[in-house]
Amino acid sequence: MTGQLRADAKRNRDQILAAARELMVNQGAGVPMEEIARHAGVGVGTLYRRFPDRVALLRALSVHTIENMTELARTALRTEPDAWTGLSRFVRECVALRLGALRSIVDPELHTALRQSDELRSARTELLRIVEQMIEAAQRDGSMRTDVGVVDVAMLVSLHLKRPFDVPGTTPVDMDARLTQLMLDGLRPCAATPLPGSPTTLADVNWDADR
């Protein structure tokens, strides 16, 4: 019975997070909690027992999303024949699944509160560590330009996920594919225009500045 209760609790949590992500990405971070519960197929009381307020829900959702991205990165690194192919696959999957889009709809004050979570910082660091590993390997074998770092790639993906407006005569999927390919081509070494400054690496980032 205890095992069943734990399974039910996990299923409820996963349903709530999936519903919250879908509704918030499409409608904004202010979507009513009651609507999230209804979309998840659970009672409002169940939602509030798991997540006592909106910040707690967004924090858990952010960690959950980053963990999903980390698994995609690990799989790409492990299964693709080379680092560039792995990195390209990871970027395309993140764009296709709209992973990371949550950040673009969270207001700055709430985003600052979320960034202060140790759990979120740890999850984010692990993700960037794996992506940086792919970047460095691709740079060593000459398949990626050497004047970019993991933060450059993360910012490019983040900007792309915002998708500011629809373009008449195109589908979102087609436009995503075009922009993603343009972004990836910009990371290749052939005919690359030198960038100003130097790349920001994971070691350069001071997470404590978020506090």
Per-residue pLDDT band at 1 (split at 50, 70, 90): very low
Q: Please report the sign of the dihedral spanned by the C-alpha atoms of residue 165, residue 169, residue 172, residue 177.
A: negative
Do 84 and 114 contact (CB within 8 A), yes or no? no
Mean pLDDT, residues 37-51: 94
Mean pLDDT check: name the lowest of 1-5, 28-32, 62-66, 187-191.
Answer: 1-5
Structure tokens at 144: 């990626």
At 21 the three-state DSSP class reads: helix
Burial pattern 116-133, b for ≥16 Cβ within 10 A else e, equals ebeebbebbeebbebbbb
Residue at 149: amino acid letter: G
DSSP label at residue 110 = H
pLDDT given at position 99: 67
Domains located in the chain, CATH noted: 1-52 (1.10.10.60), 55-210 (1.10.357.10)
Per-residue pLDDT reduced to its tens digit, 104-155: 555 555 666 666 778 888 988 999 999 999 999 999 999 999 999 999 998 8
Measured in residues, the chain has a length of 211
Segments in 41-143 forming alpha helices (H): 44-50, 54-79, 83-96, 108-115, 118-140
**Stated pTM of the model:** 0.80
Residue at 125: amino acid letter: T
Structure tokens at 197: 């400054």
Instruction: Express as a percent the part of the chain with pLDDT over 70.
Output: 81
SS3 track for 169-189? CCCHHHHHHHHHHHHHHCCCC
pLDDT given at position 146: 93
Mean pLDDT, residues 50-59: 90
State the Cα–Cα distance between residues 172 and 120, nearest whole angstrom: 30
Cα-atom radius of gyration of the chain, to the nearest Å?
A: 19
Give the Cα-Cα-Cα angle 131, 133, 139 (nearest 5 degrees). 105
